[in-house]
Amino acid sequence: MVDVLVVGSGGREHAIGWKLSKSPKVGKVFFAPGNGGTKNNVPIQVDEIDKLADFAAKNSCFTVVGPEVPLSMGIVDKFNERNLGIFGPTRNAAQLESSKIWAKMFMKRNNIPTAPFEVFEDPALAKEYVKSQSYDVVIKADGLAAGKGVIVCGSKQDAFDAIDLILVKQSFGAAGKRIIVEERIDGVEASYIALSDGSIAIPMATSQDHKRIFDDDKGPNTGGMGAYSPTGVIDNNLAEKIQKDIINKTIESLRSEGITFKGFLYAGIMVRDGEPYVLEYNARMGDPECQPILIRMDSDLFDYLKSSADGELSKMPSISWKKQSAVCVVLASKGYPESYPKNDEITGLDMVDENHAVVFHAGTKLENNKVLTNGGRVLGVTALGDSLQGAIANAYSAAGLISWKNKYCRMDIGKKGLLYL
């Protein structure tokens, strides 16, 4: 048996640890720093890479990295140098996520389908370009901006404002030193996540996120207000196409450029007229997509993560999935994604048992045996069902048992998936 260290504190990390703890090969699961729902929390932050390595060495852990920040800082490179087992991409490989410009240039030179784009540092030139285009654009800060660096524009004026915000007011600091101006693609979005060992990539189940704060996809973007799996947006034919023309091509092209990508490769896909385009790559699992995906996974997650790290995925059978649907409803604090109150006491958690739904914690903390809110996205109530409708009903009936003063959730998670049944 091996002990595991899960790096991160969100719902994704709680779900990864929950699933790993079901493996007969896994002993203790530590979380750094974890949250109010995780046990064996270690008070080390995700960017304290040396301390994480010291902890993993001392406790002989296999480490699994959830979020992008430590990946982009080179946590995997550091662990490799020290011969410590770790799952995730190296810093070079994680550039797919940490530099949007790097990712776009990579896609362009390798013919991976994505929106046409140009890169700018000078606001005046960027505005000239916007004026000259016949289509609406999306403006993206180059670096990591906690999901806020992408502005989808509905008019030229929106685009000018976005350019000013990023390049003139420098609202995203160094992450916004350069921007991408790209064509806005109007279609249906879905998440395609695969697991790679650098040589091959095997698909995880498909899913769809709900990024906007309000029902019917209104309001500002968030980290994700809920997700379901599988999604009919990606049927078998489209999945095959994405796997071949996007995922496999990405892994092979990286390899031909000297980069071995081990880890979860997440392609944010826009489907327009049946054709998939990559909106963005992430070098990790999605949050909240991870929660409904892992609750459907029958295979042993540890075996797959270890095989990815060891470069031996080709020895593994394809992953087996429950036929059921799964839905994760994110319970947030009112005010998110802007400012929101903290320290509200959460009640009703003990009313939900795992046969009904699994409550993954995110922005929570445990104080004097009470669970308090401690973030914008607080809980991810995740349930299975024999149909998507059934999973939606199960997730919402469990979500209704939990309360706190400033609880907010979307009431339509999964609804857009019903269109594809």
Which residues between 271 and 290 bind ligand AMP (CB under 6 A)? 279-280
Q: Quick one: how far is CA 194 from the chain centroid?
A: 12
Smallest distance, Å, CB 406 to ligand GLY?
22
- Of 261, 205, 246, nearest in space to 384 by CA: 205
By CB under 6 A, tell whether 189 contacts ligand GLY: no
Backbone φ and ψ for 48, nearest 5 degrees, come out as -90, 70
- Of 395, 403, 396, 397, nearest in space to 348 by CA: 403
Matching residue, tokens 């892994």: 251
Helix (H) or strand (E) holding 331: strand 325-333
By CB under 6 A, tell whether 213 contacts ligand AMP: no
Query: Pattern 73-112, binding to ligand AMP, x per CB under 6 A?
Result: ----------------------------------------
Let me know: does 290 contact 377? Beta carbons within 8 Å.
Answer: no
Smallest distance, Å, CB 347 to ligand GLY?
28
Smallest distance, Å, CB 413 to ligand AMP?
16
* Partner whose binding site includes residue 287, from ligand GLY, ligand AMP, none (CB under 5 to 8 Å by kind): ligand GLY
CA 11 to each of CA 26, 178, 205, 289, 352: distance values in angstroms, whole numbers, following the listed order = 20, 31, 18, 10, 17
Which residues between 163 and 202 bind ligand AMP (CB under 6 A)? 182, 184-185, 189
- Of 356, 302, 359, 293, nearest in space to 35 by CA: 359
Lookup: tokens for 406:
């400033």
How many residues make contact with ligand AMP (CB under 6 A)?
Answer: 15
* Partner whose binding site includes residue 221, from ligand AMP, ligand GLY, none (CB under 5 to 8 Å by kind): ligand AMP
By CB under 6 A, tell whether 211 contacts ligand AMP: yes
Let me know: does 98 contact 72? Beta carbons within 8 Å.
Answer: yes
Exactly one of 13, 48, 182, 209 binds ligand GLY (CB under 6 A); that residue is 209
* Partner whose binding site includes residue 185, from ligand GLY, ligand AMP, none (CB under 5 to 8 Å by kind): ligand AMP
Exactly one of 105, 152, 271, 349 binds ligand AMP (CB under 6 A); that residue is 152
Rg (CA), the chain: 21
Q: Hey, what's the torsion of the CAs at 37, 38, 42, 46, to 10 degrees?
A: -80
Please say which residue, 29 or 165, places its beta carbon nearer to ligand AMP.
Answer: 165
Exactly one of 176, 286, 380, 385 binds ligand GLY (CB under 6 A); that residue is 286
Exactly one of 198, 224, 230, 263 binds ligand GLY (CB under 6 A); that residue is 224
Site of interaction with ligand AMP (CB under 6 A): 115, 138, 147, 150, 152, 182, 184-185, 189, 211, 221, 268, 270, 279-280
